[in-house]
Amino acid sequence: MLRTEVVSTGFYVPERVITNEDLTQWMDTSDEWIRQRSGIVERRWVDGGTGSSDLAKLAAERALERAGLEAGDLDCIILATLSPDVYFPGSGVFLQRKLGIKNVPCLDVRNQCSGFIYGLSVADAWIKTRMYRRILLVGSEVHSTGLEKSTAGRDTAVLFG
């Protein structure tokens, strides 16, 4: 039976670090309150104008390089995100364009935190049925631009980057 193999991984996180102390400037919270409830010390935020496909591109390039592959070697792109660049179309097509490839099917999976796992399951099925051979699966999120950065949004804002 045909087996699916993860041939490489890659990641990218934005440079801007937001600490728990930074959040105390915008909302009624403290480092202790955040750590006690989440264990989080810092998170990464993007500046406006950066979308999930931008982060996905940088992670994908690293993964492709580690695998010794070119973007043109891909048969399909699956992008798991709950924070697409725009509502429509899906961000997978933006990732495709940013990687400089054409005529490759793109699927966006929007299943909150489990989206990447769903994408992995779909990729596995497509490879086992010989529909595609090389699938790029990327999970990418940009929540920092849409968070309520006040005490009203504290319960969510302290968690996400």
Residue 136 pLDDT > 90, yes or no? yes
pLDDT in tens, 70-117: 999 999 999 999 999 999 999 999 999 999 999 999 999 999 899 999
Q: What pLDDT score was predicted for residue 1?
A: 79
Q: What pLDDT score was predicted for residue 123?
A: 99
Burial of 36 (C-beta count, 10 Å sphere; 0-12/13-18/19+): exposed
Q: What pLDDT score was predicted for residue 48?
A: 84
- Cβ–Cβ < 8 Å for 54, 138: no
pLDDT in tens, 34-77: 999 999 999 999 988 999 999 999 999 999 999 999 999 999 99
- What is the pLDDT averaged over residues 119-123? 99
Phi–psi pair at 58, nearest 5 degrees: -65, -40
Burial of 134 (C-beta count, 10 Å sphere; 0-12/13-18/19+): middle
Residue 118: which residues within 8 A CB-CB, separation 6 or more? 80, 109, 111
User: Please, which pLDDT band fits residue 160 given cuts at 50, 70 and 90?
Assistant: confident
- What is the pLDDT averaged over residues 109-134? 97
pTM score, whole prediction: 0.93
Which pairing describes strands 76-80 and 106-109: parallel, antiparallel, or unpaired? parallel
Which superfamily, per CATH, for 16-157?
A: Thiolase/Chalcone synthase (3.40.47.10)
Give the C-alpha distances (Å, rounded to integers) separating 128 from 1, 3, 29, 79, 121: 8, 7, 49, 19, 11
